[in-house]
Structure 1
């Protein structure tokens, strides 16, 4: 087993390996496979197999700079989506405690405690006062 491990390390030296794009493609391929189990479509099977083949080719690639650029482009798209999803989930978890409103002047999102009815709020960033109405 030790000899096999050494051979594997020797084979993978100088190769790109796995990154965030690899894991995203893996999840996408698994999702397509799950859907394909229900609908049994040849196109979905070919698509998932193609994604898996592309994952393997990327991880064994010796062109590290090109793979890093691909991952960087993916992260430029993925990170804002991930941040917005986390904010949305946090807002749902805190819906009983806080309300979120944007300042009409500077557009900063403010976290406000629940005070039902009409309230006057002062933005901490631009010092603008504005009215907020909380119904629920």
Structure 2
């Protein structure tokens, strides 16, 4: 078993391996496969198989700089989506105790305790004072 492990390490040296784009493509391909179980169309089968081929190609690629640039481009798109979705779900789970408002100057989202009515808020990022109105 140790010999097989050493052979695998030797084979993968100098190859790109797995990154965040790898996992995103993997989950997308698996999701398409699950949908294809219900729908059973050849288009989804070809798309999921094509994604698996792309995943294998990327992980065994020796062009590390190009694969790294692809992952960086993916992360530039994915990280803002991930951040906004986390804020959205946090807003839903904390709706009874906090309200979220954006600063009109720097656009930073502020987490405020519920104080019904109008009151002034100081943004910790840009130190702008602005009025917030909480109805519910």
Give the TM-score, by structure 2 length.
0.89
User: Can you give the 5+ residue segments of structure 1 that lack an aligned partner in the other structure?
Assistant: none
| Alignment correspondent of 1:43 | 43
Provide the rounded CA distance (Å) in 2 between the counterparts of 1:55 and 1:33: 15
The runs of at least 4 aligned residues of structure 1 exceeding 4 Å deviation read none
Q: Take 1:106 and 1:71, find their aligned partners in 2: how far apart are those partners?
A: 29
Aligned partners of 1:103 and 1:123 also within 8 Å:
no
SS of 1:130's equivalent in the other structure is strand
Quote the residue 2:24 is aligned against.
24
Instruction: Report deviation, 1:102.
Output: 2.6
What's the counterpart of residue 121 of structure 1?
120
CA deviation vs aligned residue, 1:48-99 (integer Å, no higher than 9, x gap): 0000010001100011111001111001101111111111111112111011
Residues 120, 131 of structure 1: 8 Å contact kept: yes
User: What value does the CA root-mean-square deviation take over the aligned residues?
Assistant: 1.6
2:14 corresponds to which residue? 14
Equivalent residues in 2 for 1:70-81, closer than 5 Å: 70-81=70-81
1:111 & 1:97 partners in 2: Cα distance? 10
Residues 80, 127 of structure 1: alpha-carbon distance in 2 compared, 3 angstrom cutoff: closer
The answer for unaligned runs of 5 or more in structure 2 is: none
Give 3-state SS (helix, strand or coil) of 1:33's partner.
helix
Distance of aligned partners of 1:99 and 1:62 in 2 relative to their CA distance in 1, 3 Å threshold: same
Partners in 1 of 2:11 and 2:18 — Cα distance? 15
What displacement does 1:14 show? Answer: 0.7
Length, aligned pairs only: 134
Q: TM-score, normalised by structure 1?
A: 0.89
Would the alpha carbon gap of residues 126 and 6 (structure 1) be closer, same or farther in structure 2, given more than 3 Å must change?
closer
CA distance in 1, matches of 2:76, 2:56: 22
Could you give the per-residue CA deviations for residues 12-57 of structure 1, whole angstroms, max 9, x where no partner exists? 1111100100000000001100110000000100000000010001
